[in-house]
């Protein structure tokens, strides 16, 4: 889809607009994502990599789905996100139990020392250049305790192929769509634009082609080589790279032909 999407404009601005619009629907769009299972699998990986302690910084925490299972496990959590509306949704779930801050991950403040910093469910793909990725990783590094670990996932090309065809999610008679705006093959390292929207459910007596609550998402695909170079420049050592498909289980080796996500684990170099 390179060339059909304007490459100007910093990622954070696009992301903020997209998630301010999507916030009220985000949990419905992602109702099929099993965060309890996924975070348990990620913790198994992190424990193998030497995780100690229970202080989490969740970068791009959104509505809180990526930190709620950790809270239930007794972790102390700080969450941050560029979208105030996403954080409002999170706040309704946890009141004062979690410190929630509006922050752009490209200019991440130091919120403290954390045993684990993570950015889950393709939050990092909303950065639209390797420079933005490097700035975000450097900010995450500055929040790590001396033995702290960083984990994040990025979408593999397979996901953008699915979006190009259109992905429908149905929940309680409601229908949600992810739809790429340009057809064709997505090249490694390119930008991809897709819409998220709802269409009338059966029985509403409205045209199924009507699009409601449309949000426009721009993501950049990052190749493994780009991520590894950005980690290195940000002063981080990559410990391991995993591939994950829709079953939510990280496995090695990463294989772009079968995996929808790459999962990176790193620590300060």
Ligand X SMILES: C[S@@+](CC[C@H](N)C(=O)[O-])C[C@H]1O[C@@H](n2cnc3c(N)ncnc32)[C@H](O)[C@@H]1O
| Interface residues toward ligand X, by CB under 6 A | 11-12, 15, 19, 60-62, 65-66, 81-83, 86, 104-106, 120-123, 126
* Residue with Cβ nearer ligand X (116 or 201): 116
Shortest separation between residue 243's beta carbon and ligand X, angstroms: 18
* Residue with Cβ nearer ligand X (62 or 148): 62
* Residue with Cβ nearer ligand X (93 or 200): 93
* Residue with Cβ nearer ligand X (86 or 117): 86
Distance CA(24)–CA(255), nearest Å, equals: 34
Shortest separation between residue 207's beta carbon and ligand X, angstroms: 28
Contacts of 77 (CB under 8 A, 6+ apart): 56, 57, 58, 67, 70, 71, 98, 99
Alpha-carbon torsion angle 183, 215, 88, 31, nearest 10: -50
Distance CA(150)–CA(160), nearest Å, equals: 25
Shortest separation between residue 204's beta carbon and ligand X, angstroms: 27
* Residue with Cβ nearer ligand X (51 or 59): 59
Shortest separation between residue 86's beta carbon and ligand X, angstroms: 4
Measuring CA to CA, which residue among 209, 212, 220 is closest to residue 195? Answer: 212
Q: Which residue is nearest to ligand X (CB)?
A: 62
Integer angstrom CA distances of residue 208 from 53, 59, 101, 204: 50, 36, 38, 9
Shortest separation between residue 42's beta carbon and ligand X, angstroms: 11
């Amino acid at each position: 889809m390179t060339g059909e999407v304007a490459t100007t404009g910093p990622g954070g601005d696009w992301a903020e607009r997209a998630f301010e619009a999507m916030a009220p629907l985000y949990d419905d769009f992602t109702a099929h994502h099993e965060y309890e299972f996924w975070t348990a699998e990620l913790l198994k990986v992190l424990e193998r990599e030497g995780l100690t302690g229970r202080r989490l910084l969740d970068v791009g925490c959104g509505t809180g789905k990526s930190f709620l299972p950790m809270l239930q496990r007794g972790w102390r959590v700080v969450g941050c996100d560029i979208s105030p509306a996403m954080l409002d949704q999170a706040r309704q779930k946890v009141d004062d139990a979690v410190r929630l801050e509006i922050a752009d991950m490209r200019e991440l403040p130091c919120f403290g020392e954390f045993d684990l910093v993570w950015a889950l469910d393709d939050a990092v793909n909303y950065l639209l250049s390797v420079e933005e990725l490097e700035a975000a990783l450097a900010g995450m590094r500055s929040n790590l305790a001396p033995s702290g670990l960083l984990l994040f996932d990025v979408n593999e090309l397979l996901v953008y192929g699915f979006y190009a065809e259109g992905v429908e999610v149905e929940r309680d008679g409601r229908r949600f769509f992810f739809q790429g705006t340009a057809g064709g093959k997505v090249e490694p390292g390119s930008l991809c634009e897709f819409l998220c929207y709802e269409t009338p459910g059966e029985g509403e007596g409205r045209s199924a082609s009507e699009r409601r609550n449309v949000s426009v998402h721009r993501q950049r695909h990052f190749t493994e080589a780009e991520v590894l170079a950005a980690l290195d420049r940000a002063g981080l050592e990559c410990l391991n790279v995993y591939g994950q498909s829709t079953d939510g289980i990280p496995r090695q080796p990463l294989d772009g032909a079968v995996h929808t996500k790459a999962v990176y684990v790193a620590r300060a170099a």
